[in-house]
Amino acid sequence: MTDNVLAYYRREIAPFLPPVVLDFHTHTWSANDWKERPWATDKAGGRYMVTDEHYPPEQLLADGRACFPDRVYEAVCFGYPTPAVDWEKDTAYIAAAAREHAGLWPLLLGGPALGVSRERYEQALDAGGFHGFKVFLNWYGDAYGDTRVEDMVGPAELALANERRLVVLLHVPRRGRLADPDIQAGVRWLAAECPQAKIVLAHCGRCYLPAEMKAAIGCLRGLDNVWMDTSMVMDPVVLQIALNEIGPGRLLFGTDFPVAAMHGRRVRVHDHWVDVVAPGYPPSAYRVAGEGYQAGPMAWEIVLAIRWACELAGVSDAERAGIFYDNGKRLLRRET
């Protein structure tokens, strides 16, 4: 990064971060553990989010340190949650990553479509030090169809998550996102089925735009075991709406590395998000490369969105710091 770009970090980003940053949504993987490269197939959605074929934990931690050079960086991490994944290999890869690197908190891919028995889950949870489940996505791209939350989490995952007070990180399906009434009913069902679990909705329930969050947020009122991670959410208004409705204790900073390691910003154009990025990244859906302006990592834009939302919603410095560390740490310690 150039001196100018780093000076922006020191001036606009760093003063709003606590000493340790816990990133609650990151990936690490090797394509050697996949059955196919989604974008090398002609399957629908295969070119939705084209990314690196290998993203080892060393690179994840290097990206974290590059983004937050004067802070300690820790990350909740999980594998590649699409039909391409080989569950056994992915599980071994994530467990090894967490064993070999301090500051990585692993999640296990889980979902009935994987066909994993309760006994096998228990072995993996015990042996790998996993803190919960990343719910498996049984589709590519944005082909969300009529999938229901009730189809994505089965009896084995529900029972283990409840008994062990595990994190359940859920990427909600469907075009309507968390604003879809069936998805809202599904989240309420999940919260009631495993009241001891810590349910985290990835990407703020996929509400990247203010209209989506405004239509969605009411469903979380009164759900004490549901949180949202901020990965790839870069619109301060989205987070301001969330803070006003459910308060700062329910938000967890997340990036979605490797995606948010790209330089640029996710913006709203008409009724969809578009990733405006620096040149050199592979073509992907809703990704537009441009030059002639300065850009830093998208992770910074997420920090900036939290910063401005907190200021506008009257959130204290201590509560804002909680979004970046304490809120998530409490879930990992099974304290809440």
In the set 63, 180, 229, 256, which binds Zn ion (CB under 5 A)? 256
The least CB distance from residue 78 to Zn ion, in Å, is: 8
CB 141 within 8 A of CB 171: no
Count of residues engaged in binding Zn ion, rule: CB under 5 A: 1
Residue 76 beta carbon to Zn ion: minimum distance, rounded to whole angstroms? 11
Q: Which stretch binds Zn ion (CB under 5 A): 133-141, 145-153, 177-185, 249-257?
A: 249-257
Sort 50 into a burial class: Cβ within 10 Å, 0-12 / 13-18 / 19+. middle
Please, are residues 76 and 131 in contact by the beta-carbon 8 Å criterion? yes
Site string for Zn ion, 201-240 (x = CB under 5 A): ----------------------------------------
Near Zn ion in 100-159, by CB under 5 A: none
Q: Which of 29/325 has CB closer to Zn ion?
A: 29
Residue 256 vs 301, nearer CB to Zn ion: 256
* Sole residue written with tokens 């304490």: 326
Minimum CB distance to Zn ion smaller for 240 or for 254: 254
Nearer to Zn ion, 212 or 229 (CB): 229
Half-sphere exposure of 164 (CA within 13 A, CB side): 20
Phi and psi for 191 in degrees, rounded to 5?
-65, -35
CA atoms of 210 and 187, how far apart (whole Å): 20
Q: Find, among 190, 107, 202, 108, the residue nearest to 149 by Cα.
A: 190
**Cβ at position 134, least distance to Zn ion in Å:** 8
CA distances to 12, 28, 80, 232, 249 from 304, rounded to whole Å, are: 8, 25, 27, 12, 18
Residue whose C-beta lies closest to Zn ion: 256
Query: Which residue stretch of 125-133, 251-259, 264-272, 287-295 sits at the interface with Zn ion (rule: CB under 5 A)?
Result: 251-259
Q: Which is nearer to Zn ion, 235 or 256 (CB)?
A: 256
User: Are 214 and 177 in contact, with CB atoms under 8 Å apart?
Assistant: no
Stretch that binds Zn ion, among 11-19, 108-116, 256-264, 275-283 (CB under 5 A): 256-264
Residue 96: partners with Cβ closer than 8 Å, 6 or more residues away: none
Which CB atom, from 157 or from 256, has the smaller least distance to Zn ion? 256
At 305, the amino acid letter reads A
Nearest distance from C-beta of residue 101 to Zn ion, angstroms: 19
Q: Which is nearer to Zn ion, 74 or 256 (CB)?
A: 256
Q: Which residues bind Zn ion (CB under 5 A)?
A: 256
